[in-house]
Structure 1
C-alpha cells in the first residue's frame, strides 16, 4: 500500500530534515507500556511506518513490511551524550520515517525519550500533537483505563488513489480554488522582489578541522561537523511579561522574537548603514483551511512568509517588531499564504524565494505531556535537524525554533559546528536573551531569572 507525495511534500525528500522531540523524565517508566504506545501511534499513522520510494513518476510513501516497522529502542547511559547522538543520527535512507528511543541513566530514575520524525510526513504542530498523544496512550495503559484505539484524523476525504483510508490528504490539495493566472502573477511579483532586494546572510566563523564535536577546540574537525544546539529559555514570569509587553504594543510575541533575532544578526554584519535583512516565518495552514485540519493529521501543513527589511544597528527594536507584525498580518489578510503554498514547487529552481537572514519558527503555547502518577516530565524540547548544512557556502540563515511548553518560552538554535562555532552561537544566543529581557522591563519585574543551556 502506498500514497503518492504531492509536489510540496516532495521538497522535503531531498532536504532529509526531521523533527526531534525529546522529553526528560523522572520516575519509573513502564517500558512495555511505552513500547505498546509507540506501536499504537505507528499503527494509527501510516507515515510513521513507511519509507520513501521513487516509483518512476515521482516519490511515494510505501508501507513497510511487518518485520521492517519501527519499534521502541532501549538504551542506557549518559542522557546528554545520548541526546547529542540522537540529534546527529539521521533516519535510515529507505527505512522508517520515525524513530523512538528511551535512554535510561544508571540510577534508573532519570530517562530521556526521543521521538524523531521525517518532515516529509509531519510539521511542528503535528509532531507535538503526536508526542502528547503517545503519552496519553501510555498513561491509559499504565492506569488501566479503557482507551480507544488512536485514530489518525483525516484532513479531508481520502482520494480514490489511496489504498489505505487512514492516509491523510496532502494539504496542498486542500487549498481553495484559484485562477492559475493569479498564481503566475504572484510568482512574478515574488521573483522580482527577491531580485531587487537580495538579503545579507550571517558569515560562518568556524574553521574546518579545528577540534571535534564533543572534543577539544571550538571548531568542527571535519567538513560537515556535527549538529549542536544552543538554547534559551525564559521562566514563566518573564515569559508572561514578554507577552504582556507585546500585547500592550499591539504586536505578537513572534514579531518581538523576530525583531530581536534580526537586530542580533545585524550586529554580526559589517557596514555602518542599514543592511537588507530577511526574516522567514513559517505559517501554519491548519486553522486557515476549511474545514480546518487537526494537529493530529500527520502531514506537513505549513507555508512561509519572507519579508525583507532595511535594518540599521541603532533601529529601535519595538519599531522593528511593529514592521514585522504589520507585514505578516497583511500577508495573511491578502490570502498570500495560499498563494505562497502554490508556488512552493518553484523553490528548487529559485532558492532565493526562501532565503533569509533569520528563520523564526513559532509553535506558540503548547501543552506538555500528561503523565501518570510516579512519572513527571522535567523538560520538553523540539529541535529541527537536517543532513546537509553546506559549510562551503560561507554564510547562511540563523535558525531559531520557538515554542512555549507549559508557559515557558524556549528558543532552540540548531547549527552545524562546521559553520558556526560554539562560541559564536553562545554569544548570539546570549544577545537574543538580553534583547528579549529588555522587552520585559516594560512590565513589573521581580527577579531576572532567564535560564540558558
Structure 2
C-alpha cells in the first residue's frame, strides 16, 4: 500500500518545505467535531496519512499505521503557537500533515494551524484542504450531512488511479502533462541553461554576520542557530481594491505590480545606480491548465515556475518593471512552456540556477476563507511557507514573498531565517514594498495599456 513519488515530487523530499495555514477564530469551537472533521479529510486523502519512505533509488508514500496517523492536537495558549508551528518540521518518515487547535484560557479565542508537506500539496490545495476541514466541521455542528467534503472527495475521483480496495492515490501531475517531443524538451532545457549562464542573477546579501563554518549550499550542514520568523504586509479592502483598479487600467496583473515593488525594494539593497541583473521567480498553477482540470482539493503539488531576469537600475520605473514581468509571464503561458518547465524540474539539482532568483513571488490570487457556523467567526487567515534547511554560510539568498488575498484583502508574508536576514532588515524591506504598492494604489490618472 504505497505510491512511488515521481521525480518532480522527489525534489520536495530534499527541500523539506511545508505550507502553514492558520486561522484565528472568535467564538466557541467544538473540539470533538473539529477532530472528527480532520479525521474525515485524512481518511478521504491517503497522502495526508502517509509518510515518505525509501523505495529503491527513490522514495514512495506509505500509509501510516492507525496509531501513527495524524490527529488533531489541542492545547492552551495564544498566537505565539503560530511561530512555534512555523519552526516545527514534518520530518521524513513521520506524518505529512499536522493540525493544531490552540485555545485561550477563557475559551472564546482560538488559533487553528494546519501544516502540510509540499511533497503532497501546493498553495491551492492547502487552502482548499483548510476550507474543507471547516466545511465538514460546520456540517457536523449544524447536524446536517457532510456534503461539502463528500462532494470535494468525489470531485477528485477522476484524477485518481483505480486501485480496487486499496487507497485511491492521486496520480503525480507529471504523468498528466500533455504529450511532448523529447527533443523539444531537451532543446528547451538547453536554452534555459544557456540563459542562466548569460544572465546570472544577483542575490541579496545577508545582514547577519556569516557563521565561521565551511559550506555554503545544500550540500553543507544546515545552520543550528536562528529560527524562522515572518514579517507581514497587509492591505485593507479599500487599498486592495485601488491596487486592482490600477492593475486593470495598466493592463497588467496585481502579481506584476507586487513583483515590481519587490524588485524595486531589492535593487535598493544593492550598491551603485546602474542596472543590476535581478531574477523574479513566479510559481505557475497547473491545475486549471490541464485537461481535464484538477480539483483544488486533489492533494498533490501541481505547480511549476517561471524565472525571468531583468536589468534593474536605481531609477528604473516600477510600472515599466510591472509591464515587463506581466508580458513575459503571459508569453510563457501562451507558449505552454509551463509543461516543459515541469518536465525539466528533475534537472534542477544539477543546474540550481534554473530556479535561482532575487525574489520569489508566489500568488494564490483571491481566495475564499472558511465558511463557519453561526457563533464562530474568523478574525485572520494566513498562509506562510516554511522549510527545514537554511544556509547562512552562503552569505546571500533570494527573498521569499507569499502573496494571497483572503476575503478581498491582499497580504504578503515574508518568512525568513534570523541567522540570515534579521527581523529589522525584513521589516525595512517590508516597509519599502508597502510604499511601492501604495504608490501604485494611489495612481489617479488613467494609464495606457501596454502595447502587445
Place the TM-score, normalised by the shorter chain, in its bin: over 0.9
How far residue 272 of structure 1 moved from its aligned partner, in angstroms, is 2.1
Q: How does 1:291-440 map to 2 (within 5 A)?
A: 291-440=292-441
Shift of 1:352: 0.3
Matched, 1:15 2:15: yes
- Deviations, residues 164-222 of structure 1 (Å, cap 9, x unaligned): 3521111110000010000000000000000000000000001368xxxxxxxxxxxx7
Q: TM-score, normalised by structure 2?
A: 0.93
Alignment correspondent of 1:206:
208
Offset of residue 161 of structure 1: 7.4
Q: RMSD between aligned alpha carbons?
A: 1.5
Distance in 2 (alpha carbons) for counterparts of 1:178 and 1:101:
43
Structure 2 Cα separation of the partners of residues 252 and 400 of structure 1: 16
1:225 CA drift (Å): 0.6
1:152: Cα distance to partner? 5.9
Aligned-residue offset at 1:159: 4.2
Q: Superposition pairs for residues 202-241 of structure 1, below 5 Å?
A: 202-207=204-209, 223-241=224-242
User: What's the counterpart of residue 36 of structure 1?
Assistant: 36
Indicate the SS of the match to 2:189.
helix
Tell me the alpha carbon deviations over residues 21-74 of structure 1, each in whole angstroms, 9 at most, x when there is no partner.
000000100000000000001001111100000022421000001111110001
TM-score (norm 1): 0.93
Unaligned runs of 5+ in 1: 210-221, 445-453
2: distance between equivalents of 1:126 and 1:249?
31
Q: In the aligned structure 2, how far is the partner of 1:80 from the partner of 1:141?
A: 26
Q: How many residues align?
A: 431
* Cα distance in 1 for residues equivalent to 2:366 and 2:51: 32
Give 1:223 deviation, angstroms.
4.2
Distance 2:236 2:444 in 1: 15
Q: Which residue of 1 aligns with 2:184?
A: 182
Match of 2:92, SS state, is coil
The secondary structure found in structure 2 opposite 1:348 is helix
Q: 1:264 aligns to what? A: 265
**How far apart are the structure 1 equivalents of 2:18 and 2:231?**
18
Shift of 1:92: 3.3
* Structure 1 residues 159 and 107, CA gap change in structure 2 (3 angstroms): closer
CA contact (8 A) 2:161 2:168 kept: no
SS of the residue aligned with 1:260?
helix
Q: Are residues 10 and 345 of structure 1, via their aligned partners in 2, closer, same or farther at CA, if it must alter by over 3 Å?
A: same
Partner secondary structure for residue 156 of structure 2: coil
Alignment deviations for residues 262-287 of structure 1 (CA, whole Å, 9 cap, x no partner): 00000001122100000000000001
Q: Deviations over 1:63-100 (max 9, x none)?
A: 001111110001112x2221111110111331110000
Q: 1:43 to 1:375 in 2, by over 3 A?
A: same
Counterparts of 1:104 and 1:272, CA distance in 2: 51
